[in-house]
Structure 1
Amino acid sequence: MWEAIDNCQVSDGPAAETELPCSFDIEDIAMAPAETSREHKTPSFPKPSGEYWIEALENGVHVLIRPLQAQDREREKAFIERLSPESRHFRFLCQLREPGEAMLDQLMKVDQDRQAAYVALAHVDGELQEVGISRYATASGKDECECAVTVMDSWQHHGLGRLLLKHLVDHARAKGLRQMYSVDAAANQAMRELAKAAGFTTVADPDDPSQVIHRLSLI
């Protein structure tokens, strides 16, 4: 959670995306029972350039997962605004009602050498909406990355976070990174459970007792 964003230090507009990173067999993580209220047929998605995946969630709904692109700016903004206050707080570790332009600039700028971001898109109410995103960033010259995975509240517990995480991990490994970590609110029980299932070690943040650090070796 890049510091300027997560601490809401961006000054342009009211500042304020939860789930996670890693080196484990994604299929081993048990998820909550899926609901069956959405259509299960495979929808038609616009074919993007570059890498992409059309994935089936545990409830049969299909999503398109691909790298974040410049045209996703408004989708990213709407996604953050649709998150519950708690989910926004868990993602950014501060109170946030809507992202300002400076924050969006930071979120949309993905340096291919140091960062990665994968977005999940689905057909909702007749339009293609962002329903989840995973991303990591590395500090210059370091072989570890800080990561975050965020899923829309109503799309959680169907395996979407797990899928987003898998692609993020594959990318980090391909880049030769050796470790992933995530700084999260201690009250974020869902993240604690996901981190434990994924093999992360969890320790209290020595600088903030209200936070924990989940860490996993990628080698």
Structure 2
Amino acid sequence: MNRTEAASPSVRDSADPYCWRETLDNGTQITIRAIRTEDGPLEREFIAGLSPETRRMRFLGQIGEPSDDLIRSLTDLDFSHDMALIATVEQRGQTVEVGVSRYATGEDRSVGECAIVVADDWQHRGIGTLLMQRLIEVARGRGMKRLFSIDDSENARMRELAEELGFKRHFDPGNPHEVVHSLDLG
């Protein structure tokens, strides 16, 4: 499935406002939900499983094994300001994280910097699109006005996803290796 193909309609979990059940075109069931503090081991395994190139594109530089501080900063969120949604699948009785989208706000709570990454083996199945659509939905529901991402200028996958979702692309005049994708939520 390429990211422009529609997956089956999502089913929202009535007990959790930040949980959706999705079916990909190939029939795979995924869950998209807010990350939890106790997801630290899941997040660590997810990041460790990313290829060096995917890590570089996500973190705008090479990182080795994720530190405890990094994992804590990615999973122990203040949800009044920030949001992270993970996509999970069940494999051989285990929950496996296959993607994550997130935003963080600064002093201006109406604007958030967002990021997304999907596990290499799960790319081009529409998961990134679903994760970002849900993240945008949450941001709009919270009254936010704009999301933006800072990306490597060579990141073709992010460029395609951003374009598909309506983000505008601007080159960073201070850094020719980075671009800013911006989406007006109004």
The TM-score normalised by the length of structure 2 is 0.89
Give the one of 122, 138, 141 matched to 1:174.
141
Q: CA separation of 1:48/1:101 partners in 2, compared to 1, >3 Å: closer, same or farther? A: farther
CA contact (8 A) 1:136 1:147 kept: yes
CA contact (8 A) 1:120 1:131 kept: yes
Residue deviations 1:40-80, cap 9 Å, x none?
Answer: xxxxxxx9962322110122100111110122110000000
| Alignment partner of 1:122 is 2:96 | no
Provide the residue aligned with 1:159 in structure 2: 126
User: Shift of the alpha carbon at 1:208?
Assistant: 1.1
What is the percentage of aligned positions where both structures have the same residue? Answer: 39
User: Shift of the alpha carbon at 1:131?
Assistant: 0.6
User: Shift of the alpha carbon at 1:163?
Assistant: 1.1
For CA contacts below 8 A with separation 6 or more, give which structure has more relative contact order: 1
Cα distance in 1, alignment partners of residues 26 and 146 from structure 2: 32
RMSD over equivalenced CA pairs, Å: 2.0
Provide the residue aligned with 1:50 in structure 2: 16
Which amino acid in the other structure matches residue 50 of structure 2?
Answer: L
Provide the residue aligned with 1:86 in structure 2: 53
Provide the residue aligned with 2:29 in structure 1: 62
Matches within 5 A, 1:22-61: 30-31=4-5, 50-51=16-17, 52-61=19-28
Provide the residue aligned with 1:98 in structure 2: 65
| Alignment partner of 1:183 is 2:150 | yes
Provide the residue aligned with 2:10 in structure 1: none
Which amino acid in the other structure matches residue 101 of structure 2?
Answer: S
Which amino acid in the other structure matches residue 182 of structure 1?
Answer: S
| Alignment partner of 1:201 is 2:135 | no
**Unpaired stretches in structure 1, ≥5 consecutive residues:** 1-28, 35-46
Cα distance in 2, alignment partners of residues 125 and 188 from structure 1: 33
Give the one of 200, 209, 212 matched to 2:179.
212
Residue deviations 1:162-207, cap 9 Å, x none?
Answer: 1111111111001111011000001101111111222211111122
The TM-score normalised by the length of structure 1 is 0.76
Matches within 5 A, 1:8-23: none
Residue deviations 1:104-126, cap 9 Å, x none?
Answer: 11111211111011111112244
Cα distance in 2, alignment partners of residues 31 and 192 from structure 1: 17
Cα distance in 1, alignment partners of residues 122 and 61 from structure 2: 22
| Alignment partner of 1:73 is 2:40 | yes
CA contact (8 A) 1:90 1:184 kept: yes
Q: Number of aligned residue pairs: give it.
A: 178
Q: CA separation of 1:110/1:48 partners in 2, compared to 1, >3 Å: closer, same or farther? A: farther
CA contact (8 A) 2:171 2:178 kept: yes
Matches within 5 A, 1:141-152: 141-152=108-119
Which amino acid in the other structure matches residue 97 of structure 1?
Answer: G
